[in-house]
């Protein structure tokens, strides 16, 4: 298999977000540099908080694609989408929004209604991702999102270390998305290819682990087997497993696991080079 199918547009550029917290001018410049580099096909859209959209618009002077991360609540979806649409320099590449932990199902319904009003319904060119908080009702909220035809988002890390879900939680989310027929992306804590323990004690997930987990689940793996793949810490077997995928199967894996957000592009790239999954 050509790994280009598996890795195309895998890494959404979240340079503005923690722990990178890049300044807007440098984040824009670096994004353009990444997209023009030999590894540019790996790089997905630039992620920008809705609350910083004015700052972004003030810094670009040519067509610039952006995916909005709405941090202003369900009521902020429409105004943010309208602001992008009214600026000839900006091109909308989708919307992401997290649900508050309280009343997840009701929150999901409000967000879906707001997305429908702002976007006119699901659109693969402008995909909308809804992130349910971990806790009671997350699966029910996911069903609301799936029924509306939108996509899901899983938070795989953050601050403090307890923000990192266990492999059983990630496996349950992946299987739920496949059962409901809902594509998903991940965010936070996936800077590296393979599961490892970070310096602060966080058990950080690997994006290759998730790719391999989706492939195994498509082949019928159960929750325990999926969790075992997510816990693997040796990158070579994971890389070998993914190289064995046909282009058709790799495309199917990416149909479901669409991308993940990373504040670093160079760190995951270095891991992929070390595992001989990409070559300059």
**Does 200 have pLDDT greater than 90?**
no
Please give the structure tokens belonging to residue 134: 């971990």
Is 217's pLDDT higher than 50? yes
Q: How many other CB atoms are there within 10 angstroms of residue 65's CB atom? A: 15
Spell out where 74-150 has E strands: 90-98, 128-131
Question: Which H or E run contains 187?
Answer: strand 184-187
DSSP 235: H
Q: In the prediction, which pLDDT does 189 show?
A: 77
How much of the chain exceeds pLDDT 70, in percent?
99
Q: Is the pLDDT of residue 34 over 60?
A: yes
Distance CA 270, CA 275 (A): 9
Residue 280 lies in a domain: no
Query: Cα 203 to the chain's mean position, in Å?
Result: 18
Instruction: Say whether 135 sits in a helix, a strand or coil.
Output: coil
- Determine the distance from the C-alpha atom of residue 39 to the mean position of all C-alpha atoms in its chain, rounded to a whole number: 18
Domain assignment present for residue 173? The answer is yes
- Give this prediction's pTM: 0.96
* 13 pLDDT tier (thresholds 50, 70, 90): very high
Domain that holds residue 94: 3-274
User: pLDDT band for position 1 (50/70/90)?
Assistant: very low
Task: Find the CATH number of the domain harbouring 44.
Answer: 3.20.20.70
Separation CA 47–CA 14 (nearest Å): 5
Looking at the predicted structure, is the pLDDT value of residue 2 above 80?
no
Q: Is 26 a member of any domain? A: yes
pLDDT tens profile 179-189: 999 999 999 87
* Domain presence at residue 279: no
| Burial of 27 per CB tally in 10 Å (0-12, 13-18, 19+) | buried
Q: Report the distance separating Cα 95 and Cα 116, nearest Å.
A: 12
* Mean pLDDT score, 228-250: 96
Domain count, the chain: 1
SS3 197: strand
Q: Is 190 inside any structural domain?
A: yes
pLDDT tens-digit readout, 102-154: 899 999 999 999 999 999 999 999 999 999 998 899 999 999 999 999 999 99
112 and 129 Cβ atoms separated by less than 8 Å: no
In a domain? residue 98: yes
Question: Is residue 71 situated within a structural domain?
Answer: yes
> What is d(CA 19, CA 40) in angstroms, rounded to the nearest whole number?
22
Examine residue 167 and state whether it is found in any structural domain, yes or no: yes
């Amino acid at each position: 298999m050509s790994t280009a199918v598996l890795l195309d547009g895998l890494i959404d550029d979240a340079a503005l977000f923690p722990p990178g917290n890049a300044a807007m001018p440098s984040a824009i410049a670096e994004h353009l540099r990444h997209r023009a580099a030999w590894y540019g096909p790996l790089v997905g859209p630039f992620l920008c908080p809705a609350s910083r959209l004015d700052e972004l618009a003030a810094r670009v002077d040519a067509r610039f694609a952006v995916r909005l991360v709405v941090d202003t609540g369900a009521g902020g979806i429409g105004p943010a989408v309208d602001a992008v649409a009214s600026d000839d320099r900006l091109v909308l590449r989708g919307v992401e929004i997290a649900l508050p932990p309280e009343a997840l199902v009701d929150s999901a319904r409000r967000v879906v209604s707001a997305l429908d009003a702002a976007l006119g319904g699901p659109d693969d060119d402008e995909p909308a991702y809804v992130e349910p908080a971990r806790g009671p009702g997350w699966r029910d909220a996911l069903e609301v999102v799936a029924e509306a035809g939108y996509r899901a988002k899983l938070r795989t890390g953050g601050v403090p270390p307890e923000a990192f879900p266990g492999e059983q939680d990630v496996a349950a989310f992946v299987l739920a998305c496949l059962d409901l027929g809902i594509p998903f992306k991940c965010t936070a804590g996936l800077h590296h290819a393979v599961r490892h323990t970070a310096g602060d004690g966080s058990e950080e997930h690997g994006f290759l682990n998730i790719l391999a987990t989706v492939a195994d689940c498509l082949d019928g793996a159960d929750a325990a087997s999926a969790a075992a793949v997510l816990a693997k810490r040796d990158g070579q077997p994971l890389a070998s497993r993914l190289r064995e995928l046909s282009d058709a199967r790799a495309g199917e894996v990416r149909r479901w696991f669409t991308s993940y957000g990373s504040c670093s592009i160079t760190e995951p790239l270095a891991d992929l080079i070390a595992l001989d999954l990409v070559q300059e």
